[in-house]
Amino acid sequence: MTRTRTRIAATVLAAAATATAASCSSDDDSDGKAAAPANSAPATSASGSPTSDRPFGPGCSTVPASGKGSFSGMSTDPVATAASNNPVLSTLVSAVKKAGLVDTLNSAENITVFAPTNDAFDKIPKATLDKVMSDKKTLTGILTYHVVGQKAAPSALGSGDFKTLNGAMLKTSGSGQTFTIGDNAKVACGDVQTANATVYIIDSVLMPPK
């Protein structure tokens, strides 16, 4: 009888130990792996701006989500071609064509383009815009003032003083994701990548100094 009771007690203790071990393992992870940490916020730089290379700004929502005019589609084409596929830049593209700058922009390497939206051109009185569009020399001078001969990352715009293809200097200022280009143009969607350029879509047309 004593041996029987001893065997029963040993069986009960072994079963209890197995159950306890299984419970501890389940608490760590039901699949036997370490529990994954909760999702965390995207990493940010010391200035508080995202460290990813994704475009930023309120105007980015107007860029097509897919197709040749999307951020992904634009990244594979040279800048003038990429802009031609983006509907928010159609007036700029027309101006570039009138000025004969398509090949110049597409063949350039590592440039930065400040690209005014259609709404930016709409701020200019129609009679004035029509006059500029028909004057190739003036139009070329204005458009080349929007192009810098180097790639400028957002961090470089905080206190920038860039020489443009026009020959004139262009100042930029700001921080985080808020930047002013020239006197009053604001970056609506920044750090857009094309095959040969970094593009900042802006809400006003830049006028070169006289």
Q: Give the CATH class of 58-202.
A: mainly beta
Largest CA distance in the chain: 114
Task: Name 148's bridge partners.
Answer: 112, 164
Task: Name 114's bridge partners.
Answer: 200
Q: What is the pLDDT of residues 146-173, one digit of tens each?
A: 999 999 999 999 999 999 999 999 999 9
Pairing of strands 178-181, 147-148: unpaired
Handedness of CA 140, 145, 149, 153 (dihedral sign): negative
User: Is the pLDDT score of 45 beyond 80?
Assistant: no
Give the model's pLDDT for residue 21.
41
Band the pLDDT of 206: cuts 50, 70, 90: very high
Q: What is the pLDDT of residues 67-92, one digit of tens each?
A: 999 999 999 999 999 999 999 999 99
DSSP state of 55: -
Q: What is the pLDDT of residues 181-192, one digit of tens each?
A: 999 999 999 999
- 3-7, 90-94, 106-110, 197-201 — which is least confidently predicted? 3-7
DSSP 74-139: HTTS-HHHHHHT-GGGHHHHHHHHHHT-HHHHHH--SEEEEEE-HHHHHTS-HHHHHHHHT-HHHH
Pairing of strands 185-193, 178-181: antiparallel
**Cα separation of 121 and 109, whole Å?**
26
The residue ranges of every structural domain in the chain are 58-202
Sheet harboring 111-116: ordered strands across?
147-148, 111-116, 197-202, 185-193, 178-181, 169-175, 159-163
Contact 192, 55 (CB under 8 A): yes
Give the model's pLDDT for residue 54.
83
Cα dist from 4 to 8, 9, 16, 64, whole Å: 6, 9, 19, 79
Q: What is the pLDDT of residues 104-146, one digit of tens each?
A: 999 999 999 999 999 999 999 999 999 999 999 999 999 999 9
